[in-house]
Amino acid sequence: MEGTNIYAIIETGGKQYRVSEGQTVDVDNLNIIEGEAVELDRVLVIGDEKNVTIGAPTIMGAKVTATSKGTMRGDKIIVYKFKSKVRFRKKTGHHQLFTRLAINKIEAPEMVKKEPVKKASHSKKEEKESGS
């Protein structure tokens, strides 16, 4: 897949992300230090302007190489628990950690175009002879 606008759909942390080279993406927290390279091999789709390759469920041999830009904290999420008639109110907050990745390279396996396999069609005479 030689093209300028190559993209991939990767899976990490149970979520799917559409990425392209040079893009920065925030994913669930990966235990890696800042500046470390990481290879994401759960590539579901690779495509460009003309061709799209879909995995079943993943594409064998495909990988996305990224560099960690560090661990960040997300926006605060308010968790409020309330029960009516018993004066129960509980308010807590939570910051989800995430890792910021800079996508360096999308590597697709060598694509071999295969001719579609034609099924042999049997005539009714051949079916009657073999079925008798």
Residue 108 banded pLDDT, cuts 50, 70, 90? confident
Q: Given a cut of 60, is residue 63 above it in pLDDT?
A: yes
Q: Which residues contact 38 (CB under 8 A, 6 or more apart)?
A: 30, 32, 65, 66, 67, 68, 101
Q: What is the pLDDT of residues 13-51, one digit of tens each?
A: 999 999 999 999 999 999 999 999 999 999 999 998 888
Q: Given a cut of 60, is residue 61 above it in pLDDT?
A: yes
- Domain edges within the chain: 7-110
Instruction: Kindly tell me the burial class for residue 42, based on how many C-beta atoms sit within 10 Å of its own C-beta (0-12, 13-18, 19 or more).
Output: middle
Q: Given a cut of 60, is residue 84 above it in pLDDT?
A: yes
Q: Which residues does residue 57 pair with via DSSP β-bridges, in sequence order?
A: none
pLDDT > 70 fraction of the chain, expressed in percent and rounded: 80
Q: Given a cut of 60, is residue 78 above it in pLDDT?
A: yes
pLDDT at 109: 83
pLDDT at 82: 97
In angstroms, the first-to-last Cα distance of the chain is 52
Residue 130 banded pLDDT, cuts 50, 70, 90? low
- Phi and psi (nearest 5°) for 28? -55, 155
Q: Regarding predicted confidence, which is higher, 4 or 95?
A: 95
Q: Regarding predicted confidence, which is higher, 53 or 2?
A: 53
